[in-house]
């Protein structure tokens, strides 16, 4: 069994800590600069924060100056495109790379694995712990944080007080991913690439929704993890639940305020299909092992054998530009006769 709070999504969540499924995650701050109390500029306000590196403001850039509002509602001013970016979540790294800013990323998490070149970038988040000293040492003029507490508000405040500008991203659905692609694209001066990525993604999503239109919608349970007897799944209003719906399934979820579901609620919902997202990192999970779980033997999915180990959890739980790959993967499981 795997602890869902230390899954490799690195915030999804996802990183493999899924940003949308790890709202209870607590990230500690490590090694604040000793000089920050006496010498660091900046305030707790996003709009008032100055970039740690000012060289990028030396010459005018097309599309700048700009004032942007992030997913937390904070307004940030940009005199020019940032040259040094630190990402505190793998999904944010992928968004930055998708709009042509991969060569500007100077700090990432230890869960970052795509695109491959980010694996060699210095790590400023290790095991979901933000090392603020390393963030500051990277001298970023933009820090991409994760919303909904995935990068704790206190950490964001400490980073800002050190004079670094923070843009918070928290897409709740595909529309949010499109919006964040545009937001990051605008911030780095590459709206052309952002719009191109959005067009590509919307066209591919339409391929899926057209293919599954009119098909039966099986009750689908997505297992994120089972840890110490607690079953974790997608929340009712979660990113994964929205993808299951787009892929032609009827998501089985628990309380919308939680990612946990009680066994009795799962039995009552009686999923016809169980997708084992945790099988992507726990190879011991099989149709047989699920059938041996106490209380699961009565589920329709178990009785018919429609229990599918899923190896695309990383892209399903990571709300970035590859999420459409995850949508296709889900649709191939739910409607293999329609999506290939």
Query: Within a domain: residue 14?
Result: no
Residues of the chain with pLDDT > 70, as a percent, come to: 81
Q: What is the DSSP string of 62-73?
A: TT-SEEEE-TTS
User: What gap in Å lies between CA 292 and CA 305, rounded to an integer?
Assistant: 12
| Helix H or strand E segment including 75 | strand 75-78
Number of domains the chain contains: 2
Residues 156 and 227 in one domain: no
CA angle 77, 64, 97 (to 5 degrees): 85
Whole-model pTM?
A: 0.81
Query: Within a domain: residue 61?
Result: yes
Residues 237 and 326 in one domain: yes
CATH of the domain at 30: 3.40.50.1980
Residues 266 and 158 in one domain: no
What token pair was written down for 166? 């923070």
Residues 189 and 230 in one domain: no
Residues 227 and 172 in one domain: no
Q: 233 is in which domain, residue-wise? A: 214-334
Q: How confident is residue 339, by pLDDT bands cut at 50, 70 and 90?
A: very high
Residues of the chain with pLDDT > 90, as a percent, come to: 73
Residues 161 and 270 in one domain: no
Residues 32 and 148 in one domain: yes
Query: Within a domain: residue 30?
Result: yes
| pLDDT, tens only, 241-289 | 999 999 999 999 977 766 899 999 999 999 999 999 999 889 899 999 9
Residues 39 and 172 in one domain: yes
Residues 177 and 241 in one domain: no
Whether 60 shows a pLDDT value over 80: the answer reads no
Mean pLDDT, the chain, integer: 84
Residue 309 pairs with which residues in a beta bridge? 276
Residues 176 and 233 in one domain: no
Per-residue pLDDT averaged across 78-83, rounded?
96
Residues 189 and 260 in one domain: no
| pLDDT, tens only, 210-221 | 999 999 999 999
Burial class (CB in 10 A: 0-12, 13-18, 19+), 295: exposed
What token pair was written down for 158? 């400490």
């Amino acid at each position: 069994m795997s602890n869902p709070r230390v899954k490799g999504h690195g915030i999804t969540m996802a990183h493999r800590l899924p940003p949308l499924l790890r709202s209870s995650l607590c990230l500690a701050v490590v090694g604040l600069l000793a000089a920050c109390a006496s010498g660091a500029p900046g305030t707790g306000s996003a709009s008032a924060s100055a970039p740690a590196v000012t060289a990028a403001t030396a010459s005018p850039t097309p599309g700048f100056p700009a004032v942007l509002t992030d997913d937390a509602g904070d307004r940030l001013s940009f005199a020019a495109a940032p040259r040094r970016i630190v990402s505190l979540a793998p999904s944010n790294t992928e968004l930055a790379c998708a709009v042509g800013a991969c060569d500007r990323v100077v700090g990432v998490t230890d869960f970052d694995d795509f695109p491959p070149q980010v694996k060699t970038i210095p790590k400023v988040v290790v095991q979901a712990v933000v090392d603020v000293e390393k963030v500051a040492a990277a001298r970023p003029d933009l820090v991409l944080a994760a919303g909904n507490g995935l990068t704790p508000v206190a950490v964001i405040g400490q980073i800002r007080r050190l004079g670094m500008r923070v843009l918070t991203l928290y897409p709740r659905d595909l529309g949010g991913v499109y919006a964040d692609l545009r937001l990051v694209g605008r911030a780095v001066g590459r709206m052309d690439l952002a719009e191109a990525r959005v067009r590509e993604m919307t066209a591919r999503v339409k391929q899926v929704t057209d293919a599954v239109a009119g098909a039966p919608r099986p009750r689908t349970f997505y297992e994120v993890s089972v840890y110490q007897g607690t079953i974790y799944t997608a929340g009712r209003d979660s990113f994964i639940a929205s993808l299951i719906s787009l892929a032609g399934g009827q998501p089985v979820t628990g309380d919308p305020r939680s990612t946990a579901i009680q066994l009795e609620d799962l039995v009552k919902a009686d999923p016809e299909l169980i997708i084992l997202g945790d099988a992507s990192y726990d190879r011991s999970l099989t149709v047989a092992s699920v059938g041996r779980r106490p209380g699961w033997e009565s589920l329709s999915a178990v009785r018919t054998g429609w229990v599918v180990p899923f190896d695309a959890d990383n892209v399903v739980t990571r709300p970035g530009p590859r999420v459409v790959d995850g949508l296709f993967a889900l649709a191939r499981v739910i409607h293999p006769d329609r999506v290939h």
